[in-house]
Amino acid sequence: MRIEGLRLYLRDTRLSDLEQRRHWELIDTEWKAWDAPWEYEGLSKEALVLESERYLERLKRRLERSLGLADTGFRVGFEIVLKQKDRPIGWVNCYEITDRFEWTPGINAMGTAVGLVIPAVSDRAKGYGAEALLAYIDYFRTIGYRELYTQTWSGNRAMVCLAERLGFEVIERRRNSLLVRGARYDGLTYRLEL
């Protein structure tokens, strides 16, 4: 499946994307300082590598299961690809949350939270994040969703700006709930009506 944007498009992740994903998981990892960094705090280098390897393995299994998925089948995420040179620059994905805005593997799910990562610093702040998230939101609108959520933390200015620019509104602020690099930040859940 492919979803058109102006300068980029979203498409299904392929097994051939895994090499690039491995690079972003293990080498070009600056983005992890922004995407739920508290999950990595205090972990040794070895534990981080192990965690990344496990994630890549899960992703590979998920891709293998979804090979040949019909266009009507539900997509958890997509690769973000720049039309110029057909270059992948990141991904969008989603997960379920409960009515307490906590991650759930589907049990007591209240809603769907969307997220995205543009790993290379040189690809950021060029409007690609906004374009990709808009295209992803459109995907959910097309398949009948009436609302979406997104979650971040108050220290992630880029994501806060992006969410607010696209019309997401804060529905829960957990003051000083997150410790990142020695400072306390608010955990934020945003909601968007589609």
47 counts as binding ligand COA under rule CB under 6 A: no
Kindly determine how many residues on this chain lie close enough to bind ligand COA according to the rule CB under 6 A: 22
Query: How distant, in Å, are the alpha carbons of 2, 76, 133, 138 from that of 5?
Result: 10, 18, 10, 10
Q: Decide: helix, strand or coil at residue 54.
A: helix
Q: What is the largest CA-CA distance in the chain?
A: 47
181 counts as binding ligand COA under rule CB under 6 A: no
165 counts as binding ligand COA under rule CB under 6 A: yes
Q: Of the two residues 75 and 187, which places its CB atom closer to ligand COA in the complex? A: 187
159 counts as binding ligand COA under rule CB under 6 A: yes
124 counts as binding ligand COA under rule CB under 6 A: yes
Q: Of the two residues 10 and 159, which places its CB atom closer to ligand COA in the complex? A: 159
List CB contacts of 150: < 8 A, sequence separation 6 or more: 113, 114, 115, 159, 163, 168, 189, 190, 192
162 counts as binding ligand COA under rule CB under 6 A: yes
